[in-house]
Structure 1
């Protein structure tokens, strides 16, 4: 009986998860994002891999679509553009002399951020969740 109950619960969770994920990552609800890994890249040299906080990136970001801003522990930046399709939400802006693009996979919540300007290029990998 426990196996059947577990199987039914598994089927319910798997069948509801994509609907929930699409609902959470629709660009309407605030999101809490965590950076996990970062790359610091210079032309003609291999990228340096590291922990985002050590490279100067915040560990957590809060995306507020209603206020059109992204807030970290030290600063808040305006989102200058938002573009959505069935697969992802792409945010863009400009902060501390760098253009940035943040892409969120709508089915998984996986996040990628690129910063570029002058001689610097950074890439941050992470994930987002609803900040209910």
Structure 2
């Protein structure tokens, strides 16, 4: 569960700092710094609550590099693996990224995730799900 939370918050952090920018900054052609604004943790019974990056023990920023197809903590965290972007597509003015992460070896904490980044504003929404938990993360990206 902590690995799931780490990935989600880490990813959100790297894509979520909103600024005015030039066209093409959010189309995947440039690396992005992602910053988390809000994280909503949802449970199967319908309960949901806002959690912080600190509570989830994740970095505040991530680097989203669509050319390398990776998402990495920023600054780098020793021993942390990059998340691999398995699919990338541009649809209706949004950069859509998808992937799955195993988390900690021999621990059942794998997740699937999808990120949607506005090509106009850099604002982003990430959804992630694992066993009996889901997350919605709101944030923004700036070009690196």
TM-score (norm 1): 0.78
Q: Give aligned pairs, total.
A: 113
Q: d(CA) in 2 for partners of 1:128 and 1:81? A: 19
Alignment of 1:25-44 (within 5 A): 25-44=26-45
Aligned equivalent of 2:100? 94
Q: d(CA) in 1 for partners of 2:125 and 2:35? A: 11
C-alpha distance after superposition, 1:19-44 (max 9, x if no partner): x1x32112111000101111110012
- Over aligned residues, Cα RMSD in angstroms? 1.6
Q: By how many angstroms is 1:88 displaced?
A: 0.3
Which protein is richer in helix relative to its size?
1
Q: By how many angstroms is 1:117 displaced?
A: 1.5
Q: By how many angstroms is 1:118 displaced?
A: 1.3
C-alpha distance after superposition, 1:15-69 (max 9, x if no partner): xx67x1x321121110001011111100123211121231244311101111110
1:119 aligns with 2:132: yes
Aligned equivalent of 1:12? none
Retained in 1: the 8 A contact 2:28–2:67? no
Q: d(CA) in 1 for partners of 2:113 and 2:124? A: 13
Q: Which has the higher contact order (CA 8 A, sep 6+)?
A: 2
- Between Structure 1 and Structure 2, whose CA radius of gyration is higher? 1
Q: d(CA) in 1 for partners of 2:95 and 2:30? A: 12
Aligned equivalent of 2:81? 75
Structure 2 portions without partners, runs of 5+: 1-19, 104-109
Runs of 4+ in structure 1 displaced over 2 angstroms?
55-58
Aligned equivalent of 2:90? 84
Retained in 2: the 8 A contact 1:35–1:58? no
TM-score (norm 2): 0.72
